[in-house]
Amino acid sequence: MPFNGKSGKFNAAIRTVEIGTGDKAVKLGGENVLPFYTFDAPIENAPKIGVMITDMGLENEVAGIKDYYNGCTSFAEIAKKAEEMPGADFVVLRFEGADPNGENKSVEDCVAIAKEVGDAITAPLVIEGCKNVEKDAELFAKVAEALQGKNVLILSAREENYKGVAAAAGLAYNQKVGAESAVDINLAKQLNVLIGQLGVDQGNVVMNVGSAAAGYGFEYVVSTMDRIKAAALSQNDAQLQMPIITPVAEEAWSVKEAMASEADMPEWGSQEERGIDMEVETAAAVLASGSNAVILKHPTSVATISKLIKELV
Amino acid sequence: MAKFVVIGERLSTTAPAINRAFTERDPEPILKRAKQQLDAGATYLDVNIGPAENDGPELMKWAVELLQGNFDNVPLALDTSNVAAIEAGISVYNRAKGKPIVNSADAAGRIEYIDLAAANDAIVIALCNGEGIAKDNDERMMYMQTMMERGMEHGMAVDEDMWFDPLFLVIKGMQDKQMQVLEFIKMISDMGMQSTGGLSNNSNGMPKHIRPIMDSAMVAMAMMNGLTSAIVNPNDLRLMETIKSCDIIKNNNLYADSYLEI
C-alpha cells in the first residue's frame, strides 16, 4: 500500500474580513490551517498589526513612544505618524477619555476626534471605546455614522450592548462589527449567533475573544483561542469562523512589570524595556494561538512582531 | 470529534411526489424538499433515484447539478444500484463542501461499489451485510473486515472514507437484536472507523406519533456508542434536537445558548 502523507489543511476556513478602503485596505483571516502552519497550506493573509493611539494624546506614554511622535501637535498628526510606523497595517483610535468614570469626554468631542483622524489617514481605522457599555453604545453609533464609507471596524459589541452597536455599525452604517467576549468560549459563539440573528452579515464580524498580559491568566486566553480555532476549522463551526483581533497594548502596559518605576524596582531594569517585553511576548503568544490581528503601541514592539510575522508566513 | 453528520433521506423515489419529479425532471418539488432538509440542519442530502435502469446517468447528472447549483454545492450521497448513474453523478459533482458519498456497498453482491468509490475519491457507505442479514456481531465483523480489506487494496483512507452501516433492525420483530446492533456500533467506533445507517428503520411499523420518540432514543444510544452519522429525516424536530444535544454533550460542537437554533 502506498504511503499517503496527510496535510493538516482543513476543509473549513476562517472568513476573510476586509477593513479600510483603497490600496491600504487590509484583509483579516482567510486561512484554512492552524496559526502559522504554512507547511500545510499557504496563509494568504498574514496576521496584521494595528497601532493604537488614544484620545488622551501622548502625555501618559513612555519616552520611546513620545519620541516617536515628537513634534506631533494634533490628533491628525499623531494618526498620520502612527500609520507610517514601520510594520503598521492599520490605526486604532481608542477613546479612553470617554469613560464616565474618567475624563467623561462628550460624544460630540469624540466624534470630532474620530473625524479628524479618519480624514488624516489612508490606512484602515479601528475604533475602540472606553469599556463603559452605555457610553460605548452611544459613542459607537455616532462614530460609525460620522465615518461612513471608510469601512472601519468598531471594537466592540458586547453582550450588554450588542443590539445597538451591531445594528448601528453593521446594519445602518455598513461598517465592520467587533464582537467582544471576555475569555468565554460559549459567550463568544453566542454573541456571534445573536449578531447574526440581528441580520448582520457574518462576513462583517471580527471577534475579540478577550486577552490578558502574558502571565496574568493567560492560559485561559490560549485555551479559548485554541478551542475556537478547533471549532472553526476541525468542526467547521460557521459561528466561530470570524477572524480574531486582540488588543494587546492596553493589557501589556498596565501590569506591574510594565508600570513599576525603575526607582521602585531597580533590579528589574529599564521600565520601558519591560513594557516592550510584555507587549512583544503577549502579542507573539496570541498570534501563535490564532489571532489574526494584534493591537500594539510601541514602535519597537511593532517592528519586532512585524519581523516575526514576516519570518513565519 | 467532528459533528454528527445528518444525511437527509427525503429525496427518494419511494416518495411518490419525488419519484414523479425525478421522472418528469420537475425541479420544484425536489428543491422544496431539499431546502426543508437543509434548513432543518442536514449536512448531506441523499439522492435516491431508485434503480433508474433507463436513464440513470442522465437523471443523476441532472439531480446533482440541480441541487448543487441551487444550494451552494451541497454535498450529496448518490443512492442507486445503477453504477453508471453514480459515475455520471460524480463526473459533474463539485467537492467544495465535501466528497460525494456512494450509497452503498455491501460484502457480497455490491462489494464493487467500494472500488467505484476508491476510483473516484468518494466516501462509501459499507453495509455490514452479506447475503441476508448478519446473524450476529461475529458475522457483521467478518463482513466489515472483508470490506475494509477491499478498501485498503484500492488505497482508500478507510478510517475516513468508509462509513460502516451496522444495519439498523426493526424493533417490531427483532427487538432482541437491538443491543447487538448498538454493541456493533461501539466496535466500529473502537476501531476508529466512521459509521452511519438508516436509523429510522428501528421504528418501522410503529404509530406515527411514536416514531420520533423511538428514533430519538435510538440515536442518543447510538451516538453514545460512537455512531458518527445517520441517514434520517431532518424534519423530525425531536430527532434533530436530540442529535444537536448529543453533539453538545459529546463536545462535538461548542455550546452556545442558541445551539438548537443553528
For chain A, 313 residues long, the average pLDDT of each consecutive 10-residue run is 80 96 97 95 96 95 96 97 98 97 96 98 98 96 98 96 96 97 95 97 96 91 95 93 97 95 94 97 97 98 98 96
Please list, in sequence order, all residues whose beta carbon lies within 8 angstroms of the beta carbon of residue A106, skipping any fewer than 6 positions away. none
Write down the pLDDT at residue A2.
75
The answer to whether the CB atoms of B262 and A240 lie below 8 A apart is no
B95–chain A nearest CA distance, Å = 10
Strands (E), chain A: 17-19, 26-28, 48-54, 90-94, 125-128, 153-157, 176-180, 205-208, 245-247, 293-296
Of B2, B98, B256, the CB nearest to A193: B256
Burial of B261 (C-beta count, 10 Å sphere; 0-12/13-18/19+): exposed
Contacts of B255 in chain A (CB under 8 A): 186, 189
User: Helices A75-84 & A107-120, crossing angle to 10 degrees?
Assistant: 40
C-alpha cell at A135: 457610553
A197 close to B (CB below 8 A): yes
Measure the CA–CA gap between B211 and A204, rounded to whole angstroms. 42
Question: Count of CB contacts below 8 A, A vs B?
Answer: 43
Q: B96 to chain A: nearest residue by CA? A: A11
The answer to whether the CB atoms of B254 and A2 lie below 8 A apart is no
pLDDT in tens, A140-193: 999 999 999 999 999 999 999 999 999 999 999 999 999 999 999 999 999 999
Q: Answer for the pair A174, A199: CB distance below 8 angstroms, yes or no.
A: no
pLDDT over 70, % of chain B: 100
The answer to whether the CB atoms of A193 and B2 lie below 8 A apart is no
The answer to whether the CB atoms of A231 and B254 lie below 8 A apart is yes
What is the pLDDT averaged over residues B109-137? 95
C-alpha cell at A34: 492552524
What is the pLDDT averaged over residues B120-130? 97
Residue (of B222, B231, B154) closest to B198 by Cα position: B231
Q: How many helices (H) and strands (E) does chain B have?
A: 11, 8
Strand order in the sheet with B101-106: B194-195, B162-165, B123-127, B101-106, B76-79, B44-48, B5-12, B229-232
Which residue intervals of A105-241 are DSSP H helices? 107-120, 133-146, 162-166, 185-197, 218-233
Write down the pLDDT at residue A91.
98
Residues A104-109: contacts with CB under 8 Å, at least 24 apart = A105/A55, A107/A135, A107/A138, A107/A139, A107/A142, A108/A142
B249–chain A nearest CA distance, Å = 14
C-alpha cell at B225: 456508542
pLDDT in tens, B36-54: 999 999 999 999 999 988 8
Residue (of A251, A248, A247, A249) closest to A216 by Cα position: A251
Q: Which of A190, A191, A228 to mutate to test the interface with B (most CBs of B within 10 A)?
A: A190
Q: Does the pLDDT value for residue B5 go beyond 70?
A: yes
pLDDT band at B133 (very low <50, low <70, confident <90, very high): confident
Domains of chain B: 5-253 (3.20.20.20)
A235–chain B nearest CA distance, Å = 5
Which residues 239-268 of A are in CB contact (within 8 Å) with B? 239-240
The answer to whether the CB atoms of B258 and A194 lie below 8 A apart is yes
pLDDT band at B247 (very low <50, low <70, confident <90, very high): very high
Measure the CA–CA gap between A148 and A176, rounded to whole angstroms. 11
Identity of residue A179? A
The answer to whether the CB atoms of A239 and B256 lie below 8 A apart is yes
The answer to whether the CB atoms of A189 and B157 lie below 8 A apart is no
Measure the CA–CA gap between A18 and A26, rounded to whole angstroms. 6
Write down the pLDDT at residue B50.
92
Measure the CA–CA gap between A121 and A111, rounded to whole angstroms. 16
Q: Which of B254, B258, B260 to mutate to test the interface with A (most CBs of A within 10 A)?
A: B254
Contacts of B152 in chain A (CB under 8 A): 1
pLDDT band at B2 (very low <50, low <70, confident <90, very high): confident
Write down the pLDDT at residue A214.
86
Q: B247 to chain A: nearest residue by CA? A: A235
Q: Answer for the pair A73, A116: CB distance below 8 angstroms, yes or no.
A: no
How is chain A split into domains, by residue range? Answer: 17-25+44-312
Of A2, A194, A227, the CB nearest to B155: A2
| Phi then psi dihedrals of residue B167, to 5 deg | 70, 95
pLDDT in tens, A252-280: 999 999 999 999 999 999 999 999 999 99
Measure the CA–CA gap between A23 and A147, rounded to whole angstroms. 18
Measure the CA–CA gap between B201 and B188, rounded to whole angstroms. 19
Domain A17-25+44-312 coded CATH 3.20.20.20: yes
Q: A5 to chain B: nearest residue by CA? A: B157
What is the pLDDT averaged over residues B224-251? 98
pLDDT in tens, B62-98: 999 999 999 999 999 999 999 999 999 999 999 999 9
pLDDT band at B131 (very low <50, low <70, confident <90, very high): confident
Q: Answer for the pair A54, A253: CB distance below 8 angstroms, yes or no.
A: no
ipTM confidence: 0.83
Measure the CA–CA gap between A258 and A272, rounded to whole angstroms. 7
The number of residues making up chain A comes to 313
Contacts of B2 in chain A (CB under 8 A): 234-236
| Averaged pLDDT of chain B | 96
A223 close to B (CB below 8 A): no
Write down the pLDDT at residue A1.
65
Write down the pLDDT at residue B52.
87
Contacts of A236 in chain B (CB under 8 A): 2-3
